[in-house]
Amino acid sequence: MEGSAEARLEALERELAELRTRLEHLEGPARAAPPAPVPPPRPAAAAAEPRPAEPAAARPSVSVEDLLGGRVLGWVGGFAVVLGIVFFLVMAANRGWIDETTRILLAFVASTALLGVSLYLHERQGRTQAALAAAAAAIASLYVTLTAATQLYELVEPALALVLAGLVGAVATAIAVRWGEPVVAGVGIVGALLAPVLVGAGTDSVSLGFMAVALASAVGVLLWRRWGWLGIVAFVVSAPQLLGWLVDRHDERLGLSLAVLAAFWLLYGVAAIGYELREPTAALRLSSASLLLANAALLSGAGWAMLENTDHGSAATAWVIAAAAAHIGGAVPAYGGRMSREIAALIAAVGTALAAVGLALAIDGPALVAAWSAEALVLAWAARRLGDPRGQVGAAAFFVLALGHTVMLEAPPEALRVGADDFGQAAIAVAVVGAAAATLSLLSTLPDLRTASAGAAATAAVYLPSLAIVSAFDGDELDPGQTPQVLLSAFWAVAGLTGIVSGLLRDLRLLRLGGLALLLVAAAKVFAYDLSELESIYRALSFIALGLLLLGGAFAYQRVRREAGR
């Protein structure tokens, strides 16, 4: 039994040893290669840290050799081609080298071939400067050739010439838009605008038609590609040609001349405003603003000159007023559209300025003062409603016009010495200015303008009775009268004293200062004018009245200030 027990124990020990060996065999690889430590989590700040930006690629520098060889040569060559065709057409005609039809065909074929070569080079051989220069030169040469064929040699009927000119303009527009190259538009289209001038075609209607087609092409490119500079260049090139045509034709067909002027005004306006609609911005663009101002001057100035020179004075004035109404009417809806408020404000300002000129041409006297004052109040009201302080500045400008006209013509300061020539008109003008100033002080949102307007209203309130005092007595420039001057000095002193007392009682500093200033003016008048110009008895009365009032003013000032504890 013991043997068998010992045998069983030994067998169990062997099995345990075998199990231990197998277990160690299984755990061996894990011990040989312990697990790699888990990296700690990355901080949030480090995870959010941006990667360093890669340096921007430097723009390849253009050497002088590349500039001369790749660009200058191409553009000088294109310019030389255009001049060569012009010289060929003009000199061949003068010297009779070949007949007219042949020289036109040669020029046309050469220009068309050059255009085809430029298209091939640009589309198949890469966008090179030589291809651009060749295209621009070819387009300008086609216009020059067509103009010469129509104007110099009369080989093409005007109606057909306009169709061909439109075709060339369409090709130029398509190329400029497709390639997106301002140079093609600049040289090709502007060269087309100059075509009548280059061949000396004059200023007849066909030349104007050529120029109008080229101008429409330029406006199309401007709107599509958003090149604002093209509108200014087109205006500078085309406007003198339009004026030349108007000067030569307005005596014969005035209505047609005005219609053509209005059509060009609309075309220039489309160029300026259409660009703003295509490229909205909150800022005022110099190109659009300059074009609008120049266009308004062209419309109003040229129309007025043509009508005035043909003895239509009333119609000339009506033309300027109509131009003002057109601009103001166009500015009102612009405030609520896509256009910049800056451009809308500029259109409105141009319209109001033209309205001021038209009113000055149409009316005179107190009516003109009333019209300018009303325009100032309308501008101030509109500026307050729209929240645009620039309208307040415009209102101040129109009020200054009304005030200046009143002081210089209707009721000049000299009237305070000899009386007004027409007291009724002078009184109306001063009253209108005073009422406008008082209303402007209520409408204005600018503190300085409000204060200045209130001062102007107070001055008018003193100026009108002063005119009445002097004008009530007969007198002339050599003997203006003694009594009115004494009364005038006394009135100014009384008014000044009243202003001081009222300002003290109501604690209104501006009113006190105004009254004090009027007292000082009265004192200066007595010592500077009354002392030298009035006779002895009137001089004495003037000084006595002034002295008593000044003493009363000093007493009232000190008494009221002391009682009020001020």
Written in H, E and C, the secondary structure of 23-75 is HHHHHHHHHHCCCCCCCCCCCHHHHHCCCCCCCCCCCCCCCHHHHHHHHHHHH
Give the N- to C-terminal CA distance of the chain in Å, as an integer: 136
Q: What is the pLDDT of residue 505?
A: 77
Helices 366-386 and 390-405: crossing angle in degrees, nearest 10, is 170
For the chain, the C-alpha Rg in angstroms (whole number) is: 43
Q: Measured on CA atoms in the order 466, 472, 473, 474, is the torsion positive or negative?
A: positive
Q: What is the pLDDT of residue 138?
A: 83
DSSP 8-state code for residue 335: T
- CA 543 to each of CA 394, 488, 492, 534, 549: distance values in angstroms, whole numbers, following the listed order: 44, 12, 13, 11, 10
Q: What tokens were used for 152? A: 């110099």
The answer to whether 486 and 545 are in contact (CB under 8 A) is yes
As a whole number of angstroms, the distance between CA 57 and CA 39 comes to 37
Q: What is the pLDDT of residue 261?
A: 93
Q: What is the arithmetic mean of pLDDT over 29-36?
A: 48
Which of these ranges, 61-75, 451-465, 515-529, has the smallest mean pLDDT? Answer: 61-75
Q: What tokens were used for 519? A: 């007292």
Nearest to 231 by CA among 294, 184, 168, 297: 294
For residue 44, name the pLDDT band (cuts at 50, 70, 90). very low
pLDDT at 124 over 60: yes
pLDDT at 248 over 50: yes
| Chain segment 195-218, per-residue pLDDT in tens | 777 666 677 787 888 888 888 888
Q: What tokens were used for 127? A: 């966008």
Q: What is the pLDDT of residue 48?
A: 39
pLDDT at 133 over 90: no
Nearest to 316 by CA among 326, 327, 328, 303: 303
| Chain segment 379-436, per-residue pLDDT in tens | 888 888 777 777 888 889 889 999 999 999 899 988 888 888 888 999 999 999 999 9
| Chain segment 328-373, per-residue pLDDT in tens | 887 776 665 556 677 777 788 888 888 888 888 888 889 999 989 9
As a whole number of angstroms, the distance between CA 471 and CA 123 comes to 86
- CA 256 to each of CA 246, 252, 260, 261: distance values in angstroms, whole numbers, following the listed order: 10, 9, 6, 9
pLDDT at 451 over 70: yes
As a whole number of angstroms, the distance between CA 485 and CA 99 comes to 90
**What values do phi and psi take at 268, rounded to 5?**
-65, -35
As a whole number of angstroms, the distance between CA 339 and CA 348 comes to 13
Q: What is the arithmetic mean of pLDDT over 510-514?
A: 81
Tell me which range, 36-50, 464-478, 490-504, is most confidently predicted by mean pLDDT: 490-504
Q: What angle do CA 497, 499, 505 make, to 5 degrees?
A: 105
Residue 169 burial (C-beta neighbours within 10 Å; 0-12, 13-18, 19+): buried
pLDDT at 80 over 70: no
Q: What is the arithmetic mean of pLDDT over 163-180?
A: 79
Nearest to 262 by CA among 273, 283, 249, 246: 246
CB < 8 Å & 24+ apart, contacts of 258-261: 258/303, 258/306, 258/307, 258/319, 260/208, 261/298, 261/299, 261/302, 261/303, 261/306
pTM for this predicted structure: 0.65
Q: Give me the count of residues in the chain.
A: 566
As a whole number of angstroms, the distance between CA 182 and CA 41 comes to 57
Residue 375 burial (C-beta neighbours within 10 Å; 0-12, 13-18, 19+): buried
Q: What is the arithmetic mean of pLDDT over 45-62?
A: 43
| Chain segment 184-199, per-residue pLDDT in tens | 777 677 777 877 776 6
Between residues 553 and 483, the one the model is more confident about: 483
Q: What is the pLDDT of residue 59?
A: 45
Q: What is the pLDDT of residue 33?
A: 47
For residue 1, name the pLDDT band (cuts at 50, 70, 90). very low
Q: What angle do CA 519, 525, 529 make, to 5 degrees?
A: 170
Q: What is the pLDDT of residue 400?
A: 93
Q: What is the arithmetic mean of pLDDT over 86-114?
A: 72
Q: What tokens were used for 437? A: 């100033």
SS3 78: helix
Q: What is the arithmetic mean of pLDDT over 247-269?
A: 87
As a whole number of angstroms, the distance between CA 257 and CA 248 comes to 10
Residue 529 burial (C-beta neighbours within 10 Å; 0-12, 13-18, 19+): middle
DSSP per-residue codes, 434-496: HHHHHHHHHH---HHHHHHHHHHHHHHHHHHHHHHHHHTS---SSS--SHHHHHHHHHHHHHH
Q: What is the pLDDT of residue 73?
A: 52
